Structure 1
Amino acid sequence: MALTVPELTAARDALLRARADGVRRYRDQNGEEVEYRSDSEMARALAALDSEIARAASARPTTLRFITTKGL
């Protein structure tokens, strides 16, 4: 199941807040407890979320449907 842009943004904000507070263990949106070994691991997770948000925000439709008439 793909997450929506608002869900990804909320997850990124929560992780950024935890990192700023110096917390390595926190409870995410789903109630799961997540623990990071180091600040660099948190930075990599933030970078991954940033790229997911960018990819989801720029998603284009895969199918175009044209409806035309001859005007008669």
Structure 2
Amino acid sequence: MAFTQDDLTAINDAIATGELEVQFADGKRVRYRSINELMRAKQHIENSISTAAGKAPRRGVRLNVNKGV
């Protein structure tokens, strides 16, 4: 399935309102189990859109900073 910007907008709107059910532009309705699952779906859609546009997918970076002794 090729994702569109409208799909990403629908996911973002659901995250902003706390809704777990999303209706996409093609009429499909998906109910997610949690906000974390919505966030993973958002990341997947963003990566798919970036790949389709010829860009490298966005990757997360984790930093562990310590003040020291």
User: Shift of the alpha carbon at 1:13?
Assistant: 0.9
Match of 1:44 among 40, 48, 56: 40
Q: What SS does the aligned partner of 2:49 have?
A: helix
* 2:32 paired with 1:27: no
Deviating 4+ runs (over 2 angstroms): none
> Residue deviations 1:3-60, cap 9 Å, x none?
2xxx52110011101110111013211112110000110010000011101101117x
User: Which TM-score applies when normalising by structure 1?
Assistant: 0.67
Instruction: Kindly report the root-mean-square deviation, in angstroms, between the aligned alpha carbons of the 2 structures.
Output: 1.6
User: Which TM-score applies when normalising by structure 2?
Assistant: 0.70
Runs of 5+ consecutive residues of structure 1 not aligned to the other structure: 60-72
> How many residue pairs end up in the alignment?
55
Match of 2:49 in 1: 53
Larger CA deviation: 23-32 vs 43-52: 23-32
Match of 1:63 in 2: none
Of structures 1 and 2, the one with the larger relative CO (CA 8 A, separation 6+) is: 1
Q: Is the 8 A contact 2:10 2:23 kept in 1?
A: no
The structure whose Rg is larger is: 1
Counterpart of 1:38, as a letter, is S
Larger proportion of helix = 1
Runs of 5+ consecutive residues of structure 2 not aligned to the other structure: 56-69
